[in-house]
Amino acid sequence: MKRISILGSTGSIGRSTLSVTETYPERFQIVALAAGKNLEAAFEQARRWRPRMLSIAAEADAEGLRTRLRQAGMNDIEVVYGAAGAVQVATHRDADFVVSAIVGVAGLEATFEAVKAGKTVGVANKECLVAAGELITAEARRQGKPLLPIDSEHNAVHQCLRGGRMEEVERIWLTASGGPFLNTPRSEFSSITVEQALNHPTWKMGKRITIDSATLMNKGFEVIEACRLFHIPPSKVEVLVHPGSTIHSMVEFVDGSILAQFSVTDMRLPILYALTYPERIPSDMRFPVGNLRHLDFCSPDMNKFPCLRLAYEAAEAGGAKTVALNAADEVAVAAFLEGSIGFDDIPKIIEGTVSATNAAKMESIAKVLEADATARRYAQEWVLGMARKTVRPRATSVV
Amino acid sequence: MKRISILGSTGSIGRSTLSVTETYPERFQIVALAAGKNLEAAFEQARRWRPRMLSIAAEADAEGLRTRLRQAGMNDIEVVYGAAGAVQVATHRDADFVVSAIVGVAGLEATFEAVKAGKTVGVANKECLVAAGELITAEARRQGKPLLPIDSEHNAVHQCLRGGRMEEVERIWLTASGGPFLNTPRSEFSSITVEQALNHPTWKMGKRITIDSATLMNKGFEVIEACRLFHIPPSKVEVLVHPGSTIHSMVEFVDGSILAQFSVTDMRLPILYALTYPERIPSDMRFPVGNLRHLDFCSPDMNKFPCLRLAYEAAEAGGAKTVALNAADEVAVAAFLEGSIGFDDIPKIIEGTVSATNAAKMESIAKVLEADATARRYAQEWVLGMARKTVRPRATSVV
Residue pLDDT, tens place only, B317-341: 999 999 999 999 999 999 999 999 9
The values of phi and psi at residue A120, to 5°, are -85, 130
- Which of B238, B269, B284 minimises the CB distance to A290? B238
User: Which residue from A168, A258, A286 is facing B261, i.e. has the nearest CB?
Assistant: A258
Residue in B closest to A168 by C-alpha: B280
Q: At residue A335, does pLDDT exceed 70?
A: yes
Check pLDDT > 90 for residue A31.
yes
Residues of chain A with C-beta less than 8 angstroms from the C-beta of B260: 247, 259-262
Which secondary-structure segment (H or E) carries B301? none
pTM (predicted TM-score): 0.95
Q: What pLDDT, on a 0 to 100 scale, did the predictor assign at position B203?
A: 66
Are B253 and A280 an interchain contact pair (Cβ–Cβ within 8 Å)? yes
State whether A296 and B299 contact (CB < 8 Å): no
As a whole number, the mean pLDDT across chain A is 95
When pLDDT is cut at 50, 70 and 90, the band that residue A398 belongs to is very low
Asked whether the beta carbons of residue A269 and residue B262 sit closer than 8 angstroms, the reply is no
Over residues A153-162, mean pLDDT: 98
pLDDT at position A346, please? 98
The answer, yes or no, to whether the previous bond of B393 is cis (omega within 30 of 0) is: no
> Which pLDDT belongs to residue A372?
97
Q: Is the pLDDT of residue A201 over 90?
A: no
pLDDT at A397 over 70: no
For residue A387, is pLDDT > 80?
no
Phi, psi of A174 (to 5 degrees): -90, 130
Rounded Cα distance, B393 and B388, in Å: 12
* Per-residue DSSP letter, B247: E
| Residue B177: predicted pLDDT | 94
Q: Which of B265, B280, B298 to mutate to test the interface with A (most CBs of A within 10 A)?
A: B280
Mean pLDDT calculated for residue range A9-32: 97
For the segment B93-101, the average pLDDT, to the nearest whole number, is 98
Mean pLDDT of the A359-386 span: 96
**For A273-295, what is the mean pLDDT?**
97
Contact list, B286 vs chain A (CB under 8 Å): 256
Residue of A240, A272, A281 with shortest CB distance to B289: A240
Chain B hits for A162, CB-CB cut-off 8 Å, are 162-164
For the packed helices B12-23 and B268-276, what is the interaxial angle rounded to 10 degrees? 60
Checking if the pLDDT of A394 tops 80, the result is no
The answer to whether A295 contacts B298, with C-beta atoms less than 8 Å apart, is no
Q: Are B32 and B5 in contact (CB under 8 A)?
A: yes
Calculate how close chain B gets to A181, using CA atoms only, in Å.
Answer: 19
Burial class of residue B37 in the structure, from the number of CB atoms within 10 Å of its CB (0-12 exposed, 13-18 middle, 19+ buried):
exposed
Are the beta carbons of B357 and B324 closer than 8 angstroms? Answer: yes
pLDDT in tens, B214-227: 999 999 999 999 99
Q: In chain B, which residues have their Cβ closer than 8 Å to the Cβ of A276?
A: 255
Closest of B230, B218, B249 to residue B330, by C-alpha: B218
**Confidence check: pLDDT of A393 > 50:** no
Strand A247-253 with A169-176, pairing: antiparallel
Q: Per the CB < 8 Å rule, is A263 touching B264?
A: no
Pick from A257, A269, A299: CB nearest B159: A257
* Mean model confidence pLDDT for chain B: 95
Nearest alpha carbon to residue A271 among A109, A101, A146 = A101
Q: Are strands B147-149 and B120-123 parallel, antiparallel or unpaired?
A: parallel
pLDDT at A270 over 90: yes
pLDDT at A137: 97
**A280–B173: do the CB atoms touch at under 8 Å?**
no
Whether the pLDDT of residue A188 is over 60: the answer is yes
Residues of A in contact with B298 (CB under 8 A): 293
State which residue of chain A sits closest to B170, comparing Cα positions. A282
Please report the pLDDT score of residue A203 as a whole number.
66
Q: What is the distance between the alpha carbons of residues B11 and B103, in angstroms, rounded to a whole number?
A: 8
What percent of chain B is predicted at pLDDT more than 90?
93
Which H or E run includes B21?
Answer: helix B12-23
Of B254, B272, B287, the CB nearest to A280: B254
Task: Give me the mean pLDDT over the B117-123 stretch.
Answer: 98
Mean pLDDT of A198-226: 90
Classify the phi-psi angles of A181: left when phi > 0, otherwise alpha if psi is within -120 to 50, otherwise beta: alpha
Compute the distance between CA of residue B143 and CA of residue B148 in angstroms, rounded to an integer.
14
Q: Which residues of A100-137 are buried (b: 16+ CB within 10 A; e: fewer)?
A: bbbbbbbbbbbbbbbbbbebbbbbbbbbbbbbbbbbbb
Contact A162 B162 (CB under 8 A): yes
**Virtual CA dihedral for B83, B89, B90, B94, nearest 10 degrees?**
160
**Confidence at A355, pLDDT banded by 50, 70, 90:** very high
Residue in chain B lying closest to A253 (CA): B280
Residue in B252, B263, B299 nearest the CB of A257 = B263
Q: Is B256 helix (H, G, I), strand (E, B) or coil?
A: coil
Answer yes or no: is pLDDT of A395 > 70. no
Give mean pLDDT, residues B124-146: 95
> A309 near A185, Cβ under 8 Å?
no
Nearest to A295 among B250, B279, B295 (CB): B295
Q: What is the pLDDT of residue B352?
A: 97
Q: What is the pLDDT of residues A34-64, one digit of tens each?
A: 999 999 999 999 999 999 999 999 999 999 9
Sheet holding A78-81, edge to edge: A78-81, A53-56, A28-34, A2-7, A97-100, A120-123, A147-149
Long-range contacts of A127-131 (CB under 8 A, 24+ apart): A127/A326, A128/A100, A129/A224, A129/A225, A129/A228, A129/A229, A130/A221, A130/A224, A130/A225, A130/A228, A130/A322, A130/A323, A130/A325, A130/A326, A131/A105, A131/A322, A131/A323, A131/A326, A131/A327, A131/A362, A131/A368, A131/A371, A131/A372
Euclidean distance between CA atoms A234 and B289, whole angstroms: 17
pLDDT digits (tens, 9 = 90+) for B69-94: 999 999 999 999 999 999 999 999 99
Q: What is the pLDDT of residues B143-174, one digit of tens each?
A: 999 999 999 999 999 999 999 999 999 999 99
Query: Chain A closest CA to B122's CA: distance in Å?
Result: 17
Mean pLDDT calculated for residue range B18-45:
97
Which chain B residues are Cβ-neighbours of A292 within 8 angstroms? 240, 297
The yes/no answer to whether this complex scores an ipTM above 0.90 is: yes
Under DSSP, is residue B253 helix (H, G, I), strand (E, B) or coil?
Answer: strand
Residues of chain B positioned with their CB less than 8 A from the CB of A284: 256
Q: What is the pLDDT of residue A206?
A: 81
Q: How confident is the model at residue A390 (pLDDT cuts 50, 70, 90)?
A: very low
